[in-house]
Structure 1
């Protein structure tokens, strides 16, 4: 059972006894049918895996003792921040899941002019909570011990007003891009990867991004779906400059 691995939303220290999260407890008790004495691993986002043993199992709760910890060294050497136009349905979940598996450090959902899904208020909060859960599950599966943050949706203009782009490599996927990734030098600074939703970014948004130091890049001769574009671009960067 030692290969089971769950996220802990609270910090962990060796020797402490802590409750599993609601989702982790449900999986451990109902799916895996663990019992006191069984072992599993937890991570809390600080770069370590914590080896734990179940001390008690109740109907809807489970408690573990933290026995030790091991540093996890599988973070990408690239600091890729994904700026993803919000897509509908499972497309956005797929994009977040695969982006986390491929090593991104942050995800910024963008509400764009052509976004089919419009989010605000409570609906936006619930959606961000769901997306963060997708990221957690991707970390559990992929072995990452540093959890990427999924931010609240903003417009491209709002994002550009909050973040500095002068010292980073800013890439805009554009079917009419003038360059290919292989033509760029390996970056030492953070990478901002901007991808539009299903209908792509509008001309105004492309112009705005260009004014803020984003350069248009094309990946291959075929137009990719938004969720394919994100996965392909990140994997290409990891192949060219990262740890693939």
Structure 2
């Protein structure tokens, strides 16, 4: 399979076949690191869905020019939209969560801060982390074959995010991962819904007041079995289970 590269140049138009494109610096660096040469095939995507088969036509010191050949409509997304609203785990675990969630087909990741959060971000630091996690998601799309890049939303407090949520509809089911006073996840999967919103807390769990606030916004408490999973494991377990349901 030819190497895949994300480009921030719009590629959604179907009439680009036969045109040349100067790769943006990030993609050009990757092409050079892989030591691709004129005539080498590659695949390009802009995150909107379609992908293009292309060929390197010229290599410069800092520039790479490619020739667009054929546009392909691929379907590698889940049959439902899954949003993970996660209270950010500490250290580098959020990076791994974003990477694996992207591979598993997540549509959106909403980073949150709660009462018991260890990692707290705001202002410029939060913006930089959002951009960094978007880069992690893009790299995971390049590796996994996805052509739709999941949205990494801006960091918010759990209270503010819950307050902004619209009223629940029949199109969306809302699950709160909780080890206490919860139903088995399997028992909540009977309803037909096009969207699933999963809320997962930090290592110490959400406070009772936070869990109650989530329930008041239409979340049903779900448990994942007798073991207590880490904050970066629990949402991925649910996502993987949902992805298997979509096969």
Give the TM-score category using the shorter length.
over 0.9
Deviations 1:71-124 (CA, angstroms, capped at 9, x unpaired): 111110121111011112221011111111111111110111122111111111
Match of 2:199 among 179, 194, 197: 194
2-structure distance, mates of 1:177, 1:132: 35
Q: Which residue of 1 aligns with 2:118?
A: 116
Q: Distance in 2 between matches of 1:220 and 1:129?
A: 34
1:187 & 1:80 partners in 2: Cα distance? 13
Pick closer, same or farther for the CA change 1:95–1:177 going to 2, 3 Å.
Answer: farther
Unaligned 5+ segments in structure 2 are none
Who is 1:74 aligned against? 76
CA distance in 2, matches of 1:94, 1:74: 21
Structure 1: give runs of 5+ residues left out of the alignment: none
Q: TM-score, normalised by structure 1?
A: 0.93
- Aligned-pair distance for 1:165? 4.2
- Structure 1 residue 48, shift from structure 2 partner: 1.3
1:141 equivalenced with 2:143 (yes/no) = yes
Q: How does 1:90-169 map to 2 (within 5 A)?
A: 90-167=92-169, 168-169=172-173
1:174 aligns with 178
Greater alpha carbon shift after TM alignment, 190-199 vs 125-134: 190-199
Structure 1: 4+ residue segments shifted above 4 A: none
CA drift of 1:162 comes to 2.4
Q: CA deviation at 1:10?
A: 1.6
Task: Identify the residue that residue 230 of structure 1 maps to in structure 2.
Answer: 235
Alpha-carbon deviations, 1:126-158, whole Å to 9, x = none?
100000001101111111111111011011222
Q: Deviations over 1:172-195 (max 9, x none)?
A: 100114211211214323111001
Number of residue pairs matched? Answer: 240
Q: How does 1:51-90 map to 2 (within 5 A)?
A: 51-90=53-92
Return the alpha-carbon distance in structure 2 between the equivalents of residues 14 and 89 of structure 1. Answer: 44
User: Whole-Å Cα distance in 1 between the matches of residues 141 and 88 of structure 2?
Assistant: 21
Q: Which stretch of the first structure deviates more once superposed, 63-72 or 16-25? A: 16-25
Structure 2 CA distance for aligned equivalents of residues 110 and 151 of structure 1: 10
- Determine helix, strand or coil for the equivalent of 2:51: strand
C-alpha RMSD over aligned residues: 1.4
1:11 is aligned to 10
Find the residue that maps to 1:235 and give its secondary structure: helix
Cα separation, 2, equivalents of 1:106 and 1:140: 17
